[in-house]
């Protein structure tokens, strides 16, 4: 049945009757299945993503506090919290964990090999050892891979189109994040292919962001920002300092461009969280995570901030603007 047809069908039956067989999915009579949802940032920054996840669950018949319970936890970009939250989910005996980011999933892997885990976003789940392969994850995890290492080359090509005479590239990454090392290596390799000189500048704490820009000033032509929860949380600061240092930025996701970055190319995050709900549905219906293939994004957004371009004195080529999904002016 098509999505629309199915919705009409459910509406026709009436909510209560349509939800009735779903209650039978819970393991014990009277016990609702529990989803432990860990989000990497603060609630305000992730409202849209959580909304997309909950809405898709609803469409699949999992209605919060009626047919399913959701335990929300916020890591606030603090990696030390991840192991604590994962252990708490084990104590709560959740039926499935939904964990944003590679670091959170690796932390949970340490505390459980039996509770199913779904990751809505992972930079490179095979490279970081989360799963055995995309087609057959094995173990107790599955989810969505954004193939961050493969996106590096594409982002550099976009940056080169926008910044004439680009020759020296700075890469900013959180050294404490499991997948960023893989992406930095991939970006450096892509830079060599394009004839660019690339240098990596690592941070581990928010206090180190300003120091990086002091080092960068006047030495580099542009900045490649590697995404992870720490960098994500401080994206406004990073983009403000980049503008002060007159550095055009290429960022991982469109919310960086809304925060003053020049350009971003990456998967749609609400779309990834929506699709994570499909994995949860399969698991609550009895599928084993190790048998559910890891999927990849189908939708990538190119976002360009023309206010930032003007402040940097850059003219974005019309051909690039025509390909943008979002232009801020």
Low-confidence ranges of the chain (pLDDT < 50): 1-27
* pLDDT digits 0-9 by tens, 169-227: 999 999 988 788 889 999 999 999 999 999 999 999 999 999 999 998 889 999 999 99
Q: Where are the domains positioned within the chain?
A: 3-145+268-298, 148-267+301-328
Q: How many other C-beta atoms can be found within 10 angstroms of the C-beta atom of residue 7?
A: 12
CATH superfamily of 3-145+268-298: Response regulator (3.40.50.2300)
Equal fold, 3-145+268-298 vs 148-267+301-328:
yes
Residue reference for tokens 């050892």: 129
Question: What's the confidence (pLDDT) of residue 80?
Answer: 85
Question: What's the confidence (pLDDT) of residue 29?
Answer: 55
- Nearest alpha-carbon partner for 170 in 209, 204, 219, 241: 219
- Give the CA count within 13 Å in the CB-facing half-sphere of 237: 13
For residue 123, give Cα distances in angstroms to 98, 119, 150, 322: 16, 10, 10, 28
Q: Which segments of the chain does DSSP mark as H helices, in order?
A: 3-13, 15-23, 43-59, 79-91, 102-111, 148-162, 180-193, 208-216, 229-233, 235-244, 254-258, 269-284, 306-312, 318-323
Contacts 24+ apart (CB under 8 A), 125-130: 125/294, 127/179, 127/182, 128/102, 128/178, 128/179, 128/182, 130/102, 130/105, 130/106
* pLDDT digits 0-9 by tens, 292-308: 999 999 889 999 999 99
Which tokens is 288 given? Answer: 């084993």
Separation of alpha carbons 144 and 178, rounded Å: 16
For the entire predicted model, the pTM comes to 0.82
CATH superfamily of 148-267+301-328: Response regulator (3.40.50.2300)
Separation of alpha carbons 246 and 244, rounded Å: 5
């Amino acid at each position: 049945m098509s999505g629309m047809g199915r919705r009409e069908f459910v509406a026709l039956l009436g909510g209560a009757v349509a939800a009735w067989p779903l209650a039978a999915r819970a393991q014990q009579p009277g016990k609702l299945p529990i989803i432990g949802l860990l989000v990497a940032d603060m609630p305000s920054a992730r409202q849209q993503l959580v909304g997309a996840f909950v809405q898709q669950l609803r469409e699949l018949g999992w209605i919060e506090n009626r047919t399913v319970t959701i335990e929300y936890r916020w890591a606030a970009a603090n990696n030390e919290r991840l192991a604590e939250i994962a252990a708490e989910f084990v104590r709560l005996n959740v039926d499935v964990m939904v964990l944003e980011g590679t670091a959170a999933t690796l932390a949970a892997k340490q505390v459980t090999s039996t509770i199913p885990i779904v990751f809505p976003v992972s930079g490179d789940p095979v490279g970081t050892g989360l799963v055995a392969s995309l087609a057959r994850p094995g173990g107790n995890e599955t989810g969505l891979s954004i193939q961050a290492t493969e996106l590096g080359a594409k982002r550099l090509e976009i940056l080169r189109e926008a910044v004439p005479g680009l020759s020296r590239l700075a890469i900013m990454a959180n050294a404490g994040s499991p997948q960023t090392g893989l992406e930095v290596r991939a970006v450096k390799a892509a830079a060599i292919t394009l004839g660019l000189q690339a240098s990596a500048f690592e941070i581990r704490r928010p206090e180190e962001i300003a120091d990086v820009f002091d080092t960068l000033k006047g030495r580099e032509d542009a900045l490649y920002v590697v995404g992870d929860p720490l960098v994500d949380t401080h994206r406004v600061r990073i983009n403000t300092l980049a503008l002060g240092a007159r550095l055009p930025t290429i960022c991982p996701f469109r919310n960086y461009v809304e925060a003053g970055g020049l350009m971003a190319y990456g998967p749609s995050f609400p779309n990834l969280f929506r699709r994570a709900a499909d994995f949860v549905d399969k698991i609550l219906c009895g599928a084993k995570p190790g048998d559910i293939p890891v999927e990849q994004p189908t939708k990538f957004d190119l976002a360009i901030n023309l206010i930032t371009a003007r402040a940097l004195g850059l003219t974005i080529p019309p051909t690039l603007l025509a390909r943008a999904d979002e232009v801020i002016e």
